[in-house]
């Protein structure tokens, strides 16, 4: 009887190793051909089904809206909570497999899935991709929403501010700190850019330091040491390195498993995006979506909506909003005041040259073009 394979890389797969239900569930799957196809098996006498799709990210690119749309489709069994954050986590609060599977309806013929926007890009992304491929199989479907990275970072920063994460006083200083950290990391690890700076740069710094102490490695500048403290500002830029994250996830899943969608497309023409999602998940087209409105829209966007000729029956939240309008909205929110916080030309130039090669790689890999 073939069960889930033993993880090849034990250090990455502690989640899989420490939960005995993994082997029991996977053996149950393997014992019946039908179960294997549907991804459902008996676990302690109850039918449990693994997800067969994941919305892996990215944070602040409209994942809540996509999850809410998917919940409406009659053939989708979405998880009972939006962000179980099951894969990749190694702390004690991680859900057990049993609790995770209990989030999904035991519908053998439906597409079951969840949306955890941090799967794609966090330091734990390589571990999450491996664990997800081991539970779901390499042919599972993945969806990743991307958003112009500066706009995304501004939205993310406004969330940090509300939660009092990070030390930066405003969006500009947060982004400056993040860019400085990346430059330092890249400079110390060699070359203008180094993929090793994408995940756990602090760990790299500590390893280099240890090597330097024993005389076998490079001396690390003290300035890089603070990366080991996992500063939140770093995440503002880290999450926007979409091509790097794609490479990480593509390594673990079949070619064609991953669909990348642009957030602004989901917002401006949700039905067109949802048709692509349905096709990717092998679902029939659903005609009954209740279209969601944007959570918040700035006054300019509301005026633009009012002035626009709306297609009959389409709610106002879905009129395309000019990129500049959305961008200003994010900056207003990030600054926490009614006044927009314009980013200085110098900083914008730095951000553009930082993200440009990443955006170009994303375009080459997926055809999705983001202009910073």
Show which residues are catalytic: 60
90 belongs to an annotated ligand binding site: no
Q: Whose Cβ is closer to ligand PPS: residue 224's or residue 330's?
A: 330
Three-class SS of residue 56? strand
Minimum distance of ligand PPS from residue 164's CB (angstroms): 16
Considering only residues 164, 229, 295, 309, which one is a binding residue for ligand PPS as defined by CB under 6 A?
A: 295
Quick note: the x/- pattern for ligand PPS over 64-83, rule CB under 6 A, is xx------------------
Among 106, 101, 364, smallest CA distance to 242 is for 364
Applying CB under 6 A, which part among 19-27, 98-106, 282-290, 327-335 lies near ligand PPS?
Answer: 327-335
Q: Does 61 bind ligand PPS (CB under 6 A)?
A: yes
Given CA atoms 176, 362, 59, 7 in this order, what sign does their dihedral have?
Answer: negative
Q: Does 63 bind ligand PPS (CB under 6 A)?
A: yes
155 belongs to an annotated ligand binding site: yes
Q: Whose Cβ is closer to ligand PPS: residue 13's or residue 63's?
A: 63
d(CA 115, CA 76): 13
Applying CB under 6 A, which part among 40-48, 186-194, 226-234, 289-297 lies near ligand PPS?
Answer: 289-297
Applying CB under 6 A, which part among 169-177, 302-310, 329-337, 352-360 lies near ligand PPS?
Answer: 329-337
Q: Does 60 bind ligand PPS (CB under 6 A)?
A: yes
Considering only residues 232, 280, 333, 358, which one is a binding residue for ligand PPS as defined by CB under 6 A?
A: 333
- CA angle, residues 261, 263, 267, in degrees to nearest 5: 120
Which structure tokens are listed for 269? Answer: 């023409």
ω into 58 cis (within 30 of 0): yes
Q: Does 94 bind ligand PPS (CB under 6 A)?
A: no
Positions in 296-315 near ligand PPS (CB under 6 A) = 296
d(CA 370, CA 250): 20
Task: Identify the residue whose tokens are 């079949």.
Answer: 254
Applying CB under 6 A, which part among 12-20, 29-37, 326-334, 352-360 lies near ligand PPS?
Answer: 326-334
Q: Whose Cβ is closer to ligand PPS: residue 58's or residue 110's?
A: 58
Minimum distance of ligand PPS from residue 328's CB (angstroms): 10
Q: Does 330 bind ligand PPS (CB under 6 A)?
A: yes
Positions in 20-59 near ligand PPS (CB under 6 A) = 59
d(CA 160, CA 170): 11
Q: Does 246 bind ligand PPS (CB under 6 A)?
A: no
CA dist list (Å): 363 to 33, 62, 233: 40, 20, 26
Q: Whose Cβ is closer to ligand PPS: residue 229's or residue 295's?
A: 295
User: What is 125-145 written as a DSSP string?
Assistant: HHHHHHHHHHHH-TT-EEEEE
Task: Note the helical H segments in the chain.
Answer: 14-17, 21-31, 33-38, 63-72, 97-101, 125-136, 149-163, 171-189, 201-213, 222-225, 232-238, 242-250, 263-268, 270-281, 299-307, 323-335, 345-366
Q: Does 319 bind ligand PPS (CB under 6 A)?
A: no
Q: Does 292 bind ligand PPS (CB under 6 A)?
A: yes
Given CA atoms 341, 344, 345, 348 in this order, what sign does their dihedral have?
Answer: negative
Burial (CB < 10 A; 0-12, 13-18, 19+), residue 50, is buried
Minimum distance of ligand PPS from residue 28's CB (angstroms): 33
Task: Identify the residue whose tokens are 């990749």.
Answer: 88
Could you tell me which residues are beta bridge partners of residue 145? 261
Q: Does 149 bind ligand PPS (CB under 6 A)?
A: no
Q: Does 62 bind ligand PPS (CB under 6 A)?
A: yes
Q: Whose Cβ is closer to ligand PPS: residue 82's or residue 250's?
A: 82
Binding site members = 147, 155
Binding site members for 3'-phosphoadenylyl sulfate = 147, 155
Binding site for ligand PPS (CB under 6 A): 59-65, 117, 155, 158, 267, 292, 294-296, 317, 329-330, 333
């Amino acid at each position: 009887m073939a069960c889930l394979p033993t993880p090849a890389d034990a250090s990455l797969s502690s989640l899989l190793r420490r939960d005995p239900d993994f082997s029991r569930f996977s053996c149950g799957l393997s014992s019946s051909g039908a179960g294997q196809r549907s991804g459902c098996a008996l676990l302690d006498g109850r039918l449990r089904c693994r997800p067969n799709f994941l919305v892996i990210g990215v944070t602040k690119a409209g994942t809540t809206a996509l999850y809410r749309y998917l919940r409406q489709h009659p053939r989708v069994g979405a998880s009972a909570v939006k962000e179980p954050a099951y894969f990749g986590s190694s702390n004690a609060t991680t859900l057990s497999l049993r609790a995770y599977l209990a989030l999904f309806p035991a519908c053998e013929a439906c597409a079951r899935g969840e949306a955890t926007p941090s799967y794609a890009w966090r330091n734990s992304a390589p571990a999450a991709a491996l664990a997800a491929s081991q539970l779901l199989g390499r042919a599972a479907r993945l969806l990743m929403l991307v958003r112009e990275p500066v706009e995304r970072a501004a939205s993310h920063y406004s969330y940090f501010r509300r939660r009092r994460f990070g030390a930066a006083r405003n969006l500009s200083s947060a982004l400056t700190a993040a860019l400085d950290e990346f430059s330092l990391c890249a400079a110390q690890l060699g070359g203008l850019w180094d993929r090793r700076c994408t995940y756990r740069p602090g760990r790299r710094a500590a390893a280099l330091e240890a090597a330097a102490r024993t005389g076998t490695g490079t001396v690390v500048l003290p300035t890089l040491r603070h990366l080991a403290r996992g500063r939140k500002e770093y995440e503002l830029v880290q999450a926007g390195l979409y091509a790097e994250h794609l490479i990480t996830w593509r390594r673990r899943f079949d070619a064609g498993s991953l669909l990348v969608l642009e957030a602004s497309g989901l917002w401006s023409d949700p039905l067109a995006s949802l048709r692509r999602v349905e096709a990717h998940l092998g679902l029939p087209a659903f005609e009954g979506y209740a279209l969601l409105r944007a959570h918040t829209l700035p006054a300019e966007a509301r005026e633009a909506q009012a002035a626009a000729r709306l297609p009959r029956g389409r709610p106002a939240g879905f009129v395309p909003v000019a990129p500049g309008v959305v961008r200003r909205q994010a900056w207003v929110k990030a600054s926490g005041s009614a006044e927009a916080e314009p980013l200085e030309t110098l900083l914008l130039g730095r951000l553009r040259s930082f993200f440009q090669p990443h955006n170009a790689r994303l375009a080459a890999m997926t055809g999705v073009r983001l202009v910073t």
